[in-house]
C-alpha cells in the first residue's frame, strides 16, 4: 500500500508549479518515501523495541505527509477528490502501522 501511495504522490507532485520544485514538491516526496523506507528498515531491526522505535519515525513521516498534502490542497496544487483519496489511503496505512506497533509492544510485554 505505501509503495503505491508514493507513486501516486510522485504523479501529483510532477504537476506542481516549478516554483515548488525545491520546496513543497521535495518535502512531500521525501516524507512519503520515508514512510515506506522506515517500515522496511524496521523489518531489519533485531529487537522488538528497535523495530518500534523506527516505526514511530515512519508514523511521524506519515503525519508530515498528511500536512504537506493539506498545504498542497490549500494552494490548489491538487484537487479535492485526489486529496480525499490520498488522505483516506494514508489513514488506512496509519491504522495498520498502529496495529503493527501494538502487536510488537504486546510481544515485549509477554
Decide: 97 and 39 in contact? Cβ < 8 Å: yes
Cα-only R_g, the chain: 15
User: What is the tens place of the pLDDT at every residue in 17-62?
Assistant: 988 888 999 999 999 999 999 999 999 999 999 999 999 999 999 9
Q: Report residue 110's pLDDT band, with 50, 70 and 90 as the boundaries.
A: confident
User: What is the tens place of the pLDDT at every residue in 68-106?
Assistant: 999 999 999 999 999 999 999 999 999 999 999 999 999
CATH number for the domain running over 2-109: 1.20.1440.60
Residue boundaries of the structural domains of the chain: 2-109
Amino acid at each position: 500500500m505505501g509503495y503505491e501511495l508514493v507513486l501516486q504522490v510522485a504523479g501529483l507532485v510532477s504537476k506542481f508549479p516549478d516554483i515548488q520544485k525545491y520546496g513543497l514538491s521535495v518535502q512531500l516526496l521525501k516524507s512519503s518515501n520515508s514512510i515506506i523506507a522506515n517500515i522496511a528498515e524496521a523489518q531489519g531491526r533485531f529487537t522488538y523495541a528497535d523495530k518500534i522505535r523506527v516505526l514511530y519515525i515512519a508514523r511521524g513521516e506519515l503525519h508530515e505527509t498528511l500536512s504537506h498534502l493539506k498545504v498542497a490542497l490549500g494552494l490548489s496544487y491538487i484537487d479535492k477528490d485526489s486529496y480525499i483519496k490520498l488522505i483516506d489511503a494514508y489513514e488506512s496505512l496509519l491504522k495498520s502501522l498502529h496495529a503493527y506497533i501494538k502487536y510488537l509492544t504486546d510481544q515485549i510485554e509477554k
